[in-house]
Amino acid sequence: MKKPNSRIDYNEKVITIQGLYKSFDDFDVLKGVDLDLYKGENLVVLGRSGTGKSVLIKIISGLLRPDSGLVNVLGQEVDKLTPKQLDALRLKIGFSFQNSALYDSMTVKENLEFPLIRHSKEMTARDRDRIIDIVLEAVGLSQTINQMPSELSGGQRKRIGIARTLILRPEVMLYDEPTAGLDPITSQDINTLINEVQRRFNTSSIIITHDLTCAKAVGDRVVMLLDGQFQRQGTFEEVFDTNDERVKAFYNYNFTE
Protein backbone atom coordinates (compact mmCIF):
# COMPACT_ATOMS: atom_id res chain seq x y z
CA MET A 1 0.00 0.00 0.00
CA LYS A 2 1.18 3.50 -0.77
CA LYS A 3 2.33 5.58 2.19
CA PRO A 4 0.33 8.76 3.03
CA ASN A 5 1.50 11.73 0.95
CA SER A 6 1.95 14.89 3.03
CA ARG A 7 2.73 16.97 -0.07
CA ILE A 8 -0.87 17.00 -1.33
CA ASP A 9 -2.46 20.46 -1.09
CA TYR A 10 -6.13 19.85 -0.30
CA ASN A 11 -6.77 23.59 -0.57
CA GLU A 12 -5.99 23.64 -4.29
CA LYS A 13 -7.99 21.72 -6.88
CA VAL A 14 -6.31 21.27 -10.25
CA ILE A 15 -9.29 19.45 -11.80
CA THR A 16 -12.97 19.84 -10.89
CA ILE A 17 -15.70 17.79 -12.57
CA GLN A 18 -19.38 18.26 -11.75
CA GLY A 19 -22.42 16.53 -13.22
CA LEU A 20 -20.56 15.06 -16.20
CA TYR A 21 -22.67 13.13 -18.70
CA LYS A 22 -21.48 11.42 -21.88
CA SER A 23 -23.35 9.06 -24.17
CA PHE A 24 -22.62 7.41 -27.51
CA ASP A 25 -25.84 6.91 -29.47
CA ASP A 26 -28.15 5.15 -26.98
CA PHE A 27 -25.35 3.98 -24.67
CA ASP A 28 -24.93 6.10 -21.53
CA VAL A 29 -21.27 5.92 -20.45
CA LEU A 30 -20.96 8.63 -17.79
CA LYS A 31 -24.09 9.43 -15.81
CA GLY A 32 -23.44 12.43 -13.61
CA VAL A 33 -19.80 12.09 -12.58
CA ASP A 34 -18.38 14.37 -9.87
CA LEU A 35 -14.63 14.42 -9.20
CA ASP A 36 -11.89 16.63 -7.76
CA LEU A 37 -8.13 16.20 -8.20
CA TYR A 38 -5.96 18.02 -5.68
CA LYS A 39 -2.51 19.50 -6.27
CA GLY A 40 0.19 16.87 -5.81
CA GLU A 41 -2.28 13.95 -5.66
CA ASN A 42 -2.18 10.60 -7.44
CA LEU A 43 -5.84 9.70 -8.02
CA VAL A 44 -6.66 6.23 -9.32
CA VAL A 45 -9.87 5.65 -11.30
CA LEU A 46 -10.78 1.96 -11.17
CA GLY A 47 -13.32 0.15 -13.27
CA ARG A 48 -13.88 -2.75 -15.61
CA SER A 49 -13.14 -2.43 -19.31
CA GLY A 50 -15.81 -0.44 -21.11
CA THR A 51 -17.00 1.48 -18.04
CA GLY A 52 -15.91 4.88 -19.34
CA LYS A 53 -12.52 5.35 -17.66
CA SER A 54 -10.70 6.29 -20.86
CA VAL A 55 -13.65 8.42 -21.98
CA LEU A 56 -13.23 10.41 -18.77
CA ILE A 57 -9.61 11.37 -19.39
CA LYS A 58 -10.28 12.09 -23.06
CA ILE A 59 -12.90 14.61 -21.92
CA ILE A 60 -10.47 16.08 -19.38
CA SER A 61 -7.88 16.62 -22.13
CA GLY A 62 -10.43 17.99 -24.60
CA LEU A 63 -10.24 15.05 -26.99
CA LEU A 64 -13.96 14.44 -26.44
CA ARG A 65 -16.70 16.91 -25.58
CA PRO A 66 -19.12 16.20 -22.73
CA ASP A 67 -22.85 16.12 -23.35
CA SER A 68 -23.31 18.21 -20.20
CA GLY A 69 -21.54 19.09 -16.97
CA LEU A 70 -18.57 21.14 -15.79
CA VAL A 71 -14.98 20.11 -16.55
CA ASN A 72 -12.49 22.61 -15.13
CA VAL A 73 -8.77 21.92 -15.60
CA LEU A 74 -6.18 24.28 -14.10
CA GLY A 75 -8.82 26.99 -13.75
CA GLN A 76 -10.23 26.70 -17.28
CA GLU A 77 -13.51 25.19 -18.50
CA VAL A 78 -12.27 22.80 -21.15
CA ASP A 79 -15.30 22.68 -23.45
CA LYS A 80 -15.47 26.50 -23.62
CA LEU A 81 -11.91 26.99 -24.83
CA THR A 82 -11.00 28.04 -28.36
CA PRO A 83 -8.76 25.60 -30.28
CA LYS A 84 -5.77 27.86 -29.55
CA GLN A 85 -6.57 28.02 -25.84
CA LEU A 86 -7.07 24.25 -25.73
CA ASP A 87 -3.70 23.67 -27.37
CA ALA A 88 -2.08 25.89 -24.74
CA LEU A 89 -3.81 23.97 -21.92
CA ARG A 90 -2.71 20.61 -23.35
CA LEU A 91 0.92 21.69 -23.02
CA LYS A 92 0.33 21.59 -19.26
CA ILE A 93 -1.12 18.06 -19.43
CA GLY A 94 1.00 14.95 -19.94
CA PHE A 95 -0.96 12.11 -21.54
CA SER A 96 0.62 8.65 -21.20
CA PHE A 97 -1.09 6.37 -23.72
CA GLN A 98 -1.51 2.60 -23.40
CA ASN A 99 0.69 1.94 -26.44
CA SER A 100 3.31 4.60 -25.52
CA ALA A 101 2.62 6.38 -28.87
CA LEU A 102 6.27 6.55 -29.97
CA TYR A 103 7.28 7.27 -33.56
CA ASP A 104 8.80 4.04 -34.88
CA SER A 105 10.97 5.84 -37.44
CA MET A 106 12.66 8.04 -34.80
CA THR A 107 15.32 7.21 -32.24
CA VAL A 108 14.56 7.65 -28.56
CA LYS A 109 16.34 11.00 -28.62
CA GLU A 110 14.39 12.16 -31.67
CA ASN A 111 11.10 11.08 -30.05
CA LEU A 112 11.90 13.15 -26.98
CA GLU A 113 13.25 16.06 -29.00
CA PHE A 114 10.15 16.32 -31.21
CA PRO A 115 7.80 18.08 -28.72
CA LEU A 116 10.59 20.47 -27.70
CA ILE A 117 11.26 21.48 -31.31
CA ARG A 118 7.54 21.85 -31.95
CA HIS A 119 6.57 23.81 -28.83
CA SER A 120 9.79 25.48 -27.67
CA LYS A 121 11.25 26.79 -30.91
CA GLU A 122 13.49 29.29 -29.13
CA MET A 123 15.28 26.55 -27.18
CA THR A 124 18.89 25.83 -28.14
CA ALA A 125 20.10 22.36 -29.10
CA ARG A 126 22.25 22.31 -25.95
CA ASP A 127 19.23 23.05 -23.75
CA ARG A 128 17.21 20.35 -25.54
CA ASP A 129 19.98 17.84 -24.92
CA ARG A 130 20.11 18.80 -21.24
CA ILE A 131 16.35 18.31 -20.77
CA ILE A 132 16.42 15.01 -22.66
CA ASP A 133 19.20 13.79 -20.38
CA ILE A 134 17.15 14.79 -17.31
CA VAL A 135 13.98 12.91 -18.31
CA LEU A 136 15.89 9.85 -19.53
CA GLU A 137 17.74 9.70 -16.23
CA ALA A 138 14.42 10.13 -14.39
CA VAL A 139 12.98 7.02 -16.06
CA GLY A 140 16.25 5.09 -15.76
CA LEU A 141 16.92 4.71 -19.48
CA SER A 142 19.80 7.06 -20.34
CA GLN A 143 21.51 4.22 -22.19
CA THR A 144 18.69 3.94 -24.76
CA ILE A 145 19.08 7.45 -26.18
CA ASN A 146 20.20 6.32 -29.65
CA GLN A 147 18.03 3.20 -29.89
CA MET A 148 14.91 2.74 -32.00
CA PRO A 149 11.56 1.94 -30.34
CA SER A 150 11.62 -1.50 -32.00
CA GLU A 151 14.77 -2.31 -30.02
CA LEU A 152 13.09 -1.63 -26.67
CA SER A 153 11.09 -3.97 -24.46
CA GLY A 154 7.45 -3.22 -23.69
CA GLY A 155 8.39 -1.83 -20.29
CA GLN A 156 11.11 0.35 -21.78
CA ARG A 157 8.68 1.75 -24.35
CA LYS A 158 6.27 2.61 -21.52
CA ARG A 159 9.09 4.41 -19.70
CA ILE A 160 10.14 6.37 -22.79
CA GLY A 161 6.50 7.28 -23.39
CA ILE A 162 6.32 8.68 -19.85
CA ALA A 163 9.63 10.51 -20.41
CA ARG A 164 8.17 12.16 -23.50
CA THR A 165 5.13 13.36 -21.56
CA LEU A 166 7.49 14.84 -18.94
CA ILE A 167 9.64 16.67 -21.46
CA LEU A 168 7.42 19.81 -21.38
CA ARG A 169 7.12 19.66 -17.57
CA PRO A 170 3.32 19.21 -17.35
CA GLU A 171 1.40 20.10 -14.21
CA VAL A 172 -1.08 17.25 -14.69
CA MET A 173 -0.33 13.67 -15.75
CA LEU A 174 -3.00 11.38 -17.21
CA TYR A 175 -2.03 7.70 -17.31
CA ASP A 176 -4.21 5.39 -19.40
CA GLU A 177 -3.75 1.77 -18.23
CA PRO A 178 0.00 2.23 -17.54
CA THR A 179 0.63 -1.44 -16.69
CA ALA A 180 -1.50 -3.01 -19.43
CA GLY A 181 0.26 -5.88 -21.19
CA LEU A 182 3.26 -5.91 -18.86
CA ASP A 183 4.56 -8.77 -16.73
CA PRO A 184 4.26 -8.42 -12.92
CA ILE A 185 7.90 -7.37 -12.37
CA THR A 186 7.82 -4.73 -15.11
CA SER A 187 4.43 -3.52 -13.85
CA GLN A 188 5.95 -3.02 -10.42
CA ASP A 189 8.74 -0.96 -12.01
CA ILE A 190 6.14 1.25 -13.74
CA ASN A 191 4.25 1.71 -10.47
CA THR A 192 7.48 2.81 -8.78
CA LEU A 193 8.14 5.22 -11.65
CA ILE A 194 4.67 6.80 -11.38
CA ASN A 195 5.32 7.54 -7.71
CA GLU A 196 8.81 8.85 -8.51
CA VAL A 197 7.40 11.18 -11.19
CA GLN A 198 4.90 12.53 -8.66
CA ARG A 199 7.64 13.14 -6.10
CA ARG A 200 10.32 14.48 -8.42
CA PHE A 201 8.25 16.60 -10.80
CA ASN A 202 5.47 17.58 -8.35
CA THR A 203 2.73 16.40 -10.70
CA SER A 204 -0.96 15.88 -10.01
CA SER A 205 -2.08 12.68 -11.71
CA ILE A 206 -5.10 10.63 -12.70
CA ILE A 207 -4.27 6.98 -13.26
CA ILE A 208 -6.86 4.97 -15.19
CA THR A 209 -6.53 1.25 -14.53
CA HIS A 210 -8.25 -2.03 -13.77
CA ASP A 211 -5.01 -3.37 -12.24
CA LEU A 212 -5.57 -3.47 -8.48
CA THR A 213 -1.89 -3.98 -7.73
CA CYS A 214 -1.20 -0.71 -9.57
CA ALA A 215 -4.05 1.04 -7.76
CA LYS A 216 -2.78 -0.07 -4.37
CA ALA A 217 0.81 0.94 -5.15
CA VAL A 218 0.27 4.41 -6.62
CA GLY A 219 -3.08 5.76 -5.42
CA ASP A 220 -3.24 8.42 -2.73
CA ARG A 221 -6.98 8.13 -3.31
CA VAL A 222 -8.99 5.57 -5.28
CA VAL A 223 -12.40 6.00 -6.92
CA MET A 224 -14.40 3.19 -8.48
CA LEU A 225 -16.48 3.78 -11.59
CA LEU A 226 -19.58 1.54 -11.66
CA ASP A 227 -22.67 1.96 -13.82
CA GLY A 228 -21.50 5.35 -15.05
CA GLN A 229 -20.93 6.90 -11.63
CA PHE A 230 -18.32 6.90 -8.89
CA GLN A 231 -19.81 4.54 -6.33
CA ARG A 232 -16.85 4.24 -3.97
CA GLN A 233 -13.91 6.49 -3.07
CA GLY A 234 -11.20 6.72 -0.41
CA THR A 235 -8.04 4.79 0.29
CA PHE A 236 -7.63 1.43 -1.41
CA GLU A 237 -8.73 -0.34 1.78
CA GLU A 238 -11.74 1.94 2.26
CA VAL A 239 -12.98 1.37 -1.29
CA PHE A 240 -12.98 -2.39 -0.89
CA ASP A 241 -14.31 -2.46 2.67
CA THR A 242 -17.88 -2.97 1.50
CA ASN A 243 -20.59 -5.56 1.06
CA ASP A 244 -21.38 -4.27 -2.43
CA GLU A 245 -21.25 -7.45 -4.50
CA ARG A 246 -20.12 -5.56 -7.60
CA VAL A 247 -17.05 -4.24 -5.77
CA LYS A 248 -16.31 -7.57 -4.08
CA ALA A 249 -16.52 -9.40 -7.41
CA PHE A 250 -14.13 -6.91 -9.00
CA TYR A 251 -11.64 -7.42 -6.16
CA ASN A 252 -11.89 -11.21 -6.11
CA TYR A 253 -11.45 -11.52 -9.86
CA ASN A 254 -8.62 -9.03 -10.28
CA PHE A 255 -6.49 -8.96 -7.16
CA THR A 256 -4.03 -11.42 -5.72
CA GLU A 257 -1.92 -10.64 -2.69
Tell me if 31 sits within 8 A of 229, measured CB to CB. yes
Give pLDDT < 70 ranges for the chain. 253-257
Q: How far apart are CA 41 and CA 33, in angstroms?
A: 19
| Domains observed in the chain | 12-92+171-257 (3.40.50.300), 101-169 (no CATH)
Residue 162, SS3 per DSSP: helix
pLDDT attached to residue 250: 83
pLDDT attached to residue 257: 46
Q: How far apart are CA 55 and CA 174, in angstroms?
A: 12
pLDDT tens column, 52-62: 888 999 999 99
Q: How far apart are CA 62 and CA 47, in angstroms?
A: 21
pLDDT attached to residue 254: 67
What amino acid is encoded at 204 in this protein?
Answer: S
pLDDT attached to residue 255: 53
